[in-house]
Amino acid sequence: MTNLLSQTSMDDIFHKELIDRKNKLYSYTLPIDFFDPVEFYNYQSSIFSGNRFFWKSSDGLLWTVGLGIAATISNVDPENRFQASNNKWNQIIKDAEIDNPSGVPGTGPLLFGGFSFDPYSEVEEEWASFGHSILYLPSYMLTVAGDQYYLTVNAISNDLVPIESLREKANRFVQHLQNDENLLKEHPLNIKSSIEVAPEQWIQSVDEIVNILKTTDVKKVVFARKLLLEFEENAQPSYVIKRLLEQQPASFVFALEVGDYCFLGASPERLIKKMDDHVLSTCLAGSIGRSQNIQEDQKLGEILLKDQKNLFEHELVVSMIEDALRPYSTEINIPDEPILMKMPDIQHLYTPVTGKANDDFSIFTVVEKLHPTPALGGVPTKAALEIIREKENMDRGFYAGPIGWTDYQGNGEFAVGIRSGLLKENKAFLYAGCGLVSDSVSEEELKETRIKFQPMLKATGGEIL
């Protein structure tokens, strides 16, 4: 088929930073027929590669896939990155012209992206292009809400862009999309090498941290490590996304491309969700493995529900999330005891926290208050982060950071970027962590991280560690 962009020209995709108030957002949304989200992600991949994102909610009721970049919001100030992102987004939508009759959450102008775990850690090469935060307003976006499909087209321009021209552009895009026969041929990944980074040194560091926990007021430190993979050929993000969707159906599946890099994963952990005035957060801390034997698996779950170490870890998270949400929510409801969340490779203690958003609620503000939860950082947060910086010997980048979306109506959802990895060409960096408390045993914690490597390792064709 004729290349879409040869007809509409590269000028049709506005890719620029919003640096002044002269730029204006124009947005148009229309309902479309069924279109597979992964095929949409792959559409014109030679053109859009490096400027794409993918999101599936954990319940599968909302999917958003973006192609091209109408605008990017990024921040160089680590201190005010959440509030700066909020202010820039409000500036963009304040005077925008938006035609979205559906009003469905996740349609219309939407930002997708994330924030690094710790903006004060020493940046390593693989994360340099991500910065402290990066959020995309896509040029073209597919939204799947329940069984309804929508296409949103966004443009940022100094000149008047009539909505009618965006409507024509959207209709042309849909026509080319539905007639495209140039499907990307995906190839299975073959792992050439797999290297656990300094496991002996990591175990020694765990022992040192446990000693700190026994002799100071620090209650918990979440400690992570990474696994390096090299493939026989370049990795295609869509291949990994498909396998994550198949293997981790109850997880958030996400991908964020920045140039040659793609951060992607299948996270079980919601940070915050806001739909209209309904607020939901997730306390997910304390874990144990799974068994293929039903009785043994049930026994493992019962052990977890009674394990004091894991219950202590979990309660730290529950308490912190409640404190973070209370200034911005009313009618907060928290169950008295956790239940089990069973994922394919691991089971967790799980407590949902619900509430009603008040007038002060802003999703970026709440994300800032929640990040990092004790499930990803530790308690107290400041002391735990200092220990992580000193002992972890790696840059987490966006691993364990907030990743998700927010729309022009204030709806949104952010997950915690765990069970994740970073792809670049024929290499991948996989990340996993565990919560350390005063009675942690280093060898057991090493085993736990190996379990947590499994979702990404399986999705990239690796063997079980």
Q: Which residues are catalytic?
A: 220, 269
Burial class (CB in 10 A: 0-12, 13-18, 19+), 286: buried
| Residues 244/253, Cβ–Cβ less than 8 Å | yes
423 closest CA partner among 251, 243, 239, 271: 239
**Residue type present at position 340:** L
Q: What is the secondary structure of 329-391 as a DSSP string?
A: EEEEE--SS-EEEE-SSEEEEEEEEEEEE-TT--HHHHHHHHSSPTTTSEESHHHHHHHHHHH
List, in sequence order, every residue forming a beta bridge with 339; answer none if it has no partner: 350
Residue 187 identity (one-letter amino acid):
H
**Both structure tokens of 281:** 């957060």
Contact assessment for residue 225 and residue 218, using Cβ atoms and an 8 Å cutoff: no
> Given its phi and psi angles, is residue 397 left (phi above 0), alpha (psi -120 to 50 degrees) or beta?
left
**381 token code pair:** 């947060």
Residue with tokens 């219950």: 311
CA 45, chain centre distance (Å): 21
- Round to whole Å and give the CA distance between 300 and 289: 7
From the list 175, 154, 172, the residue with the least C-alpha distance to 163 is 154
Instruction: Sort strands 402-407 and 412-416 into parallel, antiparallel or unpaired.
Output: antiparallel
- Judge residue 64's burial from the number of C-beta atoms within 10 Å of its C-beta, 0-12 exposed, 13-18 middle, 19 or more buried: buried
Element (H, E) at 305: helix 294-306
Evaluate whether 110 touches 137 at the Cβ level (below 8 Å). yes
Query: Residue 82 carries which side chain, given as an amino acid letter?
Result: F
Tokens 């949409």, located at residue: 40
Residues with Cβ within 8 Å of 224's Cβ and at least 6 positions away in sequence, in order, are 388, 392, 394, 396, 399, 400, 431, 432, 433, 434, 449
Read off the amino acid at residue 95: D
